[in-house]
Structure 1
């Protein structure tokens, strides 16, 4: 009996490992010499199994393949947010990836470069700065271009290695949350890494609002709450208008309630079903 339990445990461990493939991404097209020793992971809420990642200096991808269903040949880059200071790695990353793989997608969760935090009190300064968004923006500003570059590098990697990973190189979408939505929008605005679709969810769009919409823009789906804690619904509406003005296909959902960070939450509200609306939209447009 003990042997059976031991073998079952090994099988579970092996299954968990085989479902994920970790890839270190180059920076500026060059192999990263940084070993990433600064990166830290912790669980902020003892009652939750949701991990938070900070001090990322080496961008990387965790690749998840379809589970229990046949691959649909499409991949999705999943970009968690956290004000470019932290990554809500499970709530806006792994949980979303798992949901996608159950539907036949290959998912790749991105860790991108972040603002350096003090290991002794990593979130104290962040919480203080978050009280004044202007201050927070000024601190984030230098790292935003680096994070966007990491997102584009991730798209290049997925396209280059699509055949090996089991999907079509022309069928790679991106979903990003908050700061990750900045990256998702920036990817949609770049002709070189044009995604199959882009879904910025409650996105921070300040850094990309002045970037012109490209010719032949990819389809864009945006979801945000009217009571968003940072007022991100306003720029989401403007981004939608810009996309339509650029002859792009776009769908926008502004939910009355949901606040910021609703990605994997269950609040008993219509916003809980944003991912279902995204899947319906993709299906209706025959995008996937």
Structure 2
């Protein structure tokens, strides 16, 4: 289970192959991504040919070795569009992206609620091409980068935050095209995607920050919070084996900086619960995120 959660794959998948501890990563052809927009336009950066696609448990798409970042719009029905937008950053320890579980599925859930969603396929740390070799490599790398839960992980990827800032910039630059309000462009991230969202916030200039962000099962270690930090929605399962419960120091930092923050600590859900594990209150995470956005006025039509 720990190996599974480190990869950011859904706990439900583990039940399909309990003898393995995690679902098999079945090699798969790259899916069609007709709406994917190169994040840096025509600038030469990487290649889609570097990508290695698989299906976790033969079901959910994951991708490794991303060198050419993209942004994929998932837009709401214009009749119920709120004008808000959210960049979605999937997790996967900066070496894999759970594109279905924490990307496209999340984007569709947001669009269903009238929010324009944009799935960020950000650049990743390189891994071996062979699946079994890659699995062992990722496990060793992750364990080496997550030695002290009281401190931010040493496993990082500055390119991911650079891509996060560029994604916010791209959505704002095309706000009229996509029917969104540039002042209501936020971000939500899961696991390493949460870390990407956080670093996007911490490294962005005053006019570049997302208007708000969802920090879903990210590390809870305290960070230095800027005076202009955007509102944060912080959610974690208290039985998370990857980031063991130690309270919510990161949220306490937001409070100390007198910045808006909301905390949700679910009794059960483990790591990688995505839109929720059936039978647990983690299934409420999207509804609670939407309620929080509503409370702050981000979903008010203007």
Partner of 1:214: 226
Specify the alignment match of 2:82 in structure 1: 72
Match of 1:161 in 2: 174
Checking the alignment, whether the CA contact within 8 Å between 1:202 and 1:233 is kept in structure 2 is no
Alignment of 1:158-237 (within 5 A): 158-189=171-202, 190=204, 191-204=206-219, 209-210=222-223, 212-231=224-243, 233-234=245-246, 237=248
Secondary structure of 1:87's aligned partner: coil
Classify 1:229/1:20 alpha carbon distance in 2 versus 1 (closer, same or farther; 3 Å). Answer: farther
Q: CA deviation at 1:254?
A: 1.1
Q: Which residue of 1 aligns with 2:7?
A: none
Pair 160,179 (structure 1): closer, same or farther in 2 beyond 3 Å: same
Q: Return the TM-score normalized by structure 1.
A: 0.83
How many pairs align? 261
Q: Which residue of 1 aligns with 2:12?
A: none
Cα separation, partners in 2 of 1:157 and 1:51, compared to 1, 3 Å: same
Evaluate the alpha carbon distance shift between residue 134 and residue 240 of structure 1 in structure 2; reply closer, same or farther with a 3 A threshold.
closer
Greater alpha carbon shift after TM alignment, 97-106 vs 32-41 = 32-41
Structure 2 unaligned blocks of 5 or more: 1-31
**What per-residue deviation string (whole Å, max 9, x for no partner) do you get for residues 243-283 of structure 1?**
11111011011112111001134330112211111111111
Question: C-alpha distance in 2, partners of 1:109/1:221?
Answer: 19
Distance 1:232 1:174 in 2: 24
CA RMSD of aligned residues (A): 2.5
**Superposition misfits of 4+ residues, deviation over 6 angstroms:** none
Native 8 Å contact 2:266 2:281 kept in 1: yes
> Which aligned pairs between 1:232-271 and structure 2 lie closer than 5 A?
233-234=245-246, 237-271=248-282
Match of 1:127 among 121, 124, 139: 139
Is residue 275–residue 282 contact of structure 2 (8 Å, CA) maintained in 1? no
- Structure 2 distance, partners of 1:77, 1:232, is 27
Residues 20 and 63, structure 1, Cα contact 8 Å, conserved in 2:
no
Q: CA deviation at 1:162?
A: 1.0
Bigger relative contact order (CA 8 A; separation at least 6): 2
Go from structure 1 to structure 2 and tell me whether the alpha carbon gap of 1:65 and 1:20 turns closer, same or farther (over 3 Å shift): farther
User: Which has more radius of gyration?
Assistant: 1
Q: What is the CA distance between 1:214 and its match in structure 2?
A: 2.1
Alignment partners' CA distance in 1, 2:61 and 2:190: 16
Shift of 1:51: 0.4
Superposition deviation, residue 33 in structure 1: 3.7
CA contact (8 A) 1:25 1:32 kept: no
Q: List per-residue Cα deviations over 1:203-230 (Å, max 9, x = no partner).
A: 1366xx44x3222321110100111111
Provide the secondary structure at the position in 2 that maps to 1:91: helix
1:125-170, Cα deviation, whole Å (9 max, x unpaired): 22344455547955x43xx111111111111111111111211111
SS, match of residue 204 in structure 1: coil
Task: Report whether the alignment pairs 1:286 with 2:297.
Answer: yes
